[in-house]
Structure 1
Amino acid sequence: MTAVTRTGKAGPAGTAGPAPGAEGEYGAGPALELLVHGVGGTTPEEMLDDPRTVRVTGDDTAGIHRRTDDVDAEQRPEEYRDRPVPEAYCWSGLTSGNGARALWLLLLPFMVVNLAHWMRPTAAGSSAVVRLYGLLVRLVALSLTVLLVAAACEVALDLAAWQCAGSAACADSRTWLGFLSPENGGWWSLPGRRLAFAACVPAALTGLLWWLSHRTWSAYESAPPPAHEQVREDD
């Protein structure tokens, strides 16, 4: 477990203030000691050595907790002149869960593209270069999406629906393709219908990518910018 102590002005519950002597929008308050557990995961009660804890910010996935007695520490700074206010940051929910989390591996190549965007070097006064860089990154991301969907089309439409289902020997050895085989004379046995049915696979993959990215964004990245700051793309 790692502990980080911040002194000086303190912000709202769950936030550490700037260094001593720095100006801030909050009044002078107690120092904050942030406790962070390791990969094994530890409960807030164990980290704070107190069975009574309260989550002051965050959610069930990751959050910051305080002792119940320390929740209103900012209103009683005189009681914390000689000791910091301990806070426990619990992030075990980010690395644990059901097997569906393995689906996020599909987003790994796109994560690398996102990193390429945010790792862009500063190019002050050169908006054309910034726009060109952003365009190239978006083209790479688009090419990755097309490549993944094209691979799904190759397997589902060409290999499975067209070649294997169209061959009696291949379809007989794979019973799950039997309803697509012309030998059975079923409604799906016509080539056009076989391909239309197989097209559901890349369509479902595209929908899965959208759902995963939307869920990730809404859960961890959807934060409104500060009202007093204007964020510019070329900063």
Structure 2
Amino acid sequence: MKSRLSSSTEDYLKTIYAFTEWQDTPITPSQLAARLGVANSSVSEMVRKLKDLGLVDHRPYGAVRLTEEGQRVALTMVRRHRLLETFLVTELGYGWDEVHVEAELLEHAVSDLFVERLDAKLGRPSHDPHGDPIPTGSGHVPRIEAHRLDELDPGHEGTITRISDENPELLRYLAGERIELGTDLTVVRRKPFGGPLVIRLGHGEAARDFDVAVEVGDAVWVHSDRTHPGCTLEQTDTTD
């Protein structure tokens, strides 16, 4: 796109991308409305505009998918957002539960030059404070092999490599339980009659068992060298 898109348009594209980043099912207009906290009628109008701009593909009553150009713009915004989150945590001392809203505000205001300088200043990080991959300036997304915790079987061993930042309260709770990126765990068992998943955190005498609530199991992603039929995030390349 030659002209700068509106902040609202950029937010829509970023939200569509984020919905499918860790799973394959495309987003519907009603799901998009729920994620953005707007009326279905507002989403319908914006989706029509995005389609006219060549940024999404959409048919009546169908899902919304990014076009190649829409994907490029979305990755640009994701890159901005995650670099800003990284900067706020590593350079300004923000907690990982505080940065999402700040980055949402800043990502629309900074220039492309600022983003490139920020990337260099930070040492070109590959992941943000929550473990999400940071796209490069060329649109390449680092490949992550990770599986959602609630999908793992007893006996599975791995390391926490990503924690969703959708819920700041959950991030604060996990921090209080010393559950963070890089934490080693083993899936012990699932308690009967629909009970929680039990995991063991750490190794040796310092190991401790932890009951995983549903929301925690949905938010935590684990990397392991062992093969498991979970989700793999493939790399993405776009060209200008």
Structure with the higher helix share, 1 or 2: 1
* Normalised TM-score (structure 1): 0.24
Q: Which has the larger radius of gyration?
A: 1
Structure with the higher strand share, 1 or 2: 2
